Chain A
Amino acid sequence: MMDGGGGLRVSFQEQLDRTETALQEEGEFVLRALRGSMNALWEQDTELSDEVIAFDDQIDAIYFNIQGGIQALLAQQTPVAGDLRLVLALLYSNLHLERMGDYCVTIAKLVKLASDFEPEPALVDAFSDMGARAEGMIRVALDAFEQRDVEAAETLVDLDEMIDRANRRVVEQVFALGSDPERLEWGLRMITVSRCLERIGDHAVDIGEQVAYLVTGEFREFTDASRRPDSPSPQ
């Protein structure tokens, strides 16, 4: 009766399913963009950077497609209860993924700006770690959404803490680069790269919160950012 396949509102259920599939596809695209931007960083590959920047159009296309689909669902199907929660969770998660894509573009642009400078091996290692963590977090968020798994979604908080720490270490390492203006310019660009990765982690946590809302109906933040004493708050 409750599986949605019982005969009633079949096309509505299909629309919901299609939208959720599109969200997962958008997530895969973001993962590709992230991997591309990180590879470009390691390889100092400006051509790959351009590809990542151009690829964002595809993420945006899915984003608008989902947005339009949700608009139609709201206008024509008046979803309620679990359907309403799914539609809202899709709406917000869609935005979070799109923002992640934008951060990948920013990284790719910074790679181009910093391509003339010799990279600092220790920092590149740190980004390798952060990139892998960000990718892992997106994966956890997408799987938790698909599985309606609140416990998995809540693990994103600890994962985010790791990426936040890595971000702070990058800042310290840049300060340690000394006073050579060229090194410093490169370092400052890398602080922004680090910040982008850290923000991608935050958006993954936000998707986790949408999963919790979808399952429980409760709006809540996993962590109270205003009370985290050690969290930097630029931007």
Chain B
Amino acid sequence: MNQDTIDAVAPIEVVQRESTPITHRETVFDIRGLSVYYGDTVAVSDVNLEIYRNMVTALIGPSGCGKSTFIRCLNRMNDLIPSARIDGEILYHGQNMYGSGVDPASVRRWIGMVFQKPNPFPKSIYDNVAWGPRTLGMRKGLDERVERALTQAALWDEVKGRLKRSALALSGGQQQRLCIARALAVEPEVVLLDEPASALDPIATSSIEDLIHELKREYTIVIVTHNMQQAARVADMTAFFSLDVHEDGSRNGILVEYDVTQKIFTQPADSRTEGYVTGRFG
């Protein structure tokens, strides 16, 4: 057997089971020691976590654990609440998102958000999607942009014949996909989803979950969900938040465990995570 032949024979590789199968990770958000306060009350304390590009990161945990507060920090939505302030840092591609001179509006330009309850504007389907691009002065090729966003949101085929009709005439599931299209129309990098399917029926929920699978090819997705099975189905990474109860009865949200979703749902490292995902408490 000559050398060429030997080289041509592929070695038998022993596949090692790795707890972290994702090898290439590009950090989008690097959150360091983040605490959020509403007045004197600590909502979430000392969160350290990295969010990776083109992955779906799910935030799960019981009510009041601060997961919604946390996700709202990722595009500075908490700025709209006068008493809210933060400690620590959120680095977005290495840049401090809360640094002086950073315009919250420009943050939201790259980091879009979709809320629990579909909230279309009382305008036409077309105008809902075109609203963001128009506001940002992206007037060129607007029709194509609207079509692309609606297609990405898996809504185009259902609405293409009635773009001028009111968005409020759409079903709940369609309205939510419209809100996703609205977020996508400005071509953000990150899409934040705060309980996007909790107001929807199971079929509309499935279509949103399918959509999330599709969207992660182009976007980085962060999703807050109460539905643990939804996190198990859609997320690559899962962060479990819980409540830390202090002696004086005060309580604040903490990040308990953050890992690859499969690990969280088969072999969580923390007993509090185990208790929550198995439904034993929380």
Contacts and interface: CB of A to CB of B under 8 A. Distances in A.
B281 A81 contact: no
Contact of A2 (B266, B277, B280): B280
B17 A81 contact: no
A18 interface: no
A81 B267 contact: yes
B135 interface: no
B274 A6 contact: no
Interface in B191-243: 228-229, 232
Given A8-B280, A217-B266, A217-B267, A81 B274 contact: yes
B62 to A, nearest CB: 12
Contacts of B228: 80
Contacts of B280: 1-2, 4, 6, 8-9
A9 B280 CA distance: 6
A83 B274 CA distance: 9
B5 interface: no
A80 B281 contact: no
Contacts of B271: 1-2
A30 B273 CA distance: 38
Given A1-B275, A2-B274, A219-B17, A8 B265 contact: no
Contacts of A55: none
Interface string B240-272: 000000000000000000000000111110010
B83 interface: no
Contact of B279 (A12, A85, A217, A219): A12
Q: Which of B228, B267, B277, B280 is most buried by chain A, counting CB atoms within 10 A of its CB?
A: B280
A205 to B, nearest CB: 20
B265 A9 contact: no
Nearest to B265: A80
A1 B281 contact: yes
B171 interface: no
A156 to B, nearest CB: 22
A21 B265 CA distance: 25
Interface centre among A6, A82, A218 (most CB of B within 10 A): A82
B27 interface: no
B17 A80 contact: no
A8 B232 CA distance: 20
Contacts of B266: 80-81, 84-85, 217
A15 B186 CA distance: 51
A112 B105 CA distance: 86
B281 A6 contact: yes
A233 interface: no
A119 interface: no
Interface of A: 1-2, 4, 6, 8-9, 12, 78-85, 217-219
12 contacts: A1-B281, A6-B280, A8-B281, A9-B278, A12-B279, A80-B228, A80-B232, A81-B268, A81-B273, A81-B277, A85-B266, A219-B17
